[in-house]
Amino acid sequence: MAEERTPRSVEDRQAEERPSDSWIPPSTLPTPDPQEGWVFRWIRTATLGKADNTNVSQKFREGWTPCKEEDHPELQVMTDVGSRFEGNIEIGGLLLCKAPEEEMKKREAYYQKAASQQMESVDHSFMKENDPRMPLLNPERTSRTTFGRG
């Protein structure tokens, strides 16, 4: 005897979906509320308990400044005990810093230009080995996404 089945049009897929409000473990490093014109970043101040003064000095020269605890009450974190940056937000050897967005765009453009110059240099070095009898393929550094037909 044939089985009684409900038509597909009656079935509801929403009942099978997982709830979207599932619990997610909190991040070790909290994210500050965005502020217009500022970029935030966690700067390494120590590795394995040993101070990294060189890294901190370099980042400060790049334009990063430590964020004050009172400026970010939304974070509600316990900062490192015995921190060298008293009154700032330091967690696990990382110091929350901010920098002007415009300056960081200039920095990003500088490093992007340096990276593209390095890639050009590699390409020129590679292509100088080219021989017309057995040509090298010009390295193509673009990616494409295609979708199947039908």
pLDDT at site 28: 77
Residue 106 CA to residue 112 CA, distance in Å, equals: 10
Task: List average pLDDT for each run of 10 residues in the chain, which is 150 residues long.
Answer: 72 62 78 91 90 93 92 80 84 92 93 92 79 66 70
One-letter amino acid of 139:
P
pLDDT at site 141: 63
pLDDT at site 140: 62
pTM (whole model) above 0.95? no
Would you say the C-alpha torsion 117, 122, 124, 127 has a positive or negative sign?
Answer: negative
pLDDT at site 61: 93
* CA dist 140 → 46, 110, 122, 125, 150 (Å): 41, 23, 13, 15, 29
pLDDT at site 143: 65
**Token pair of 107, please?**
């920095």
What is the enclosing helix (H) or strand (E) of 106? Answer: helix 101-127
Residue 98 CA to residue 75 CA, distance in Å, equals: 15
pLDDT at site 138: 60
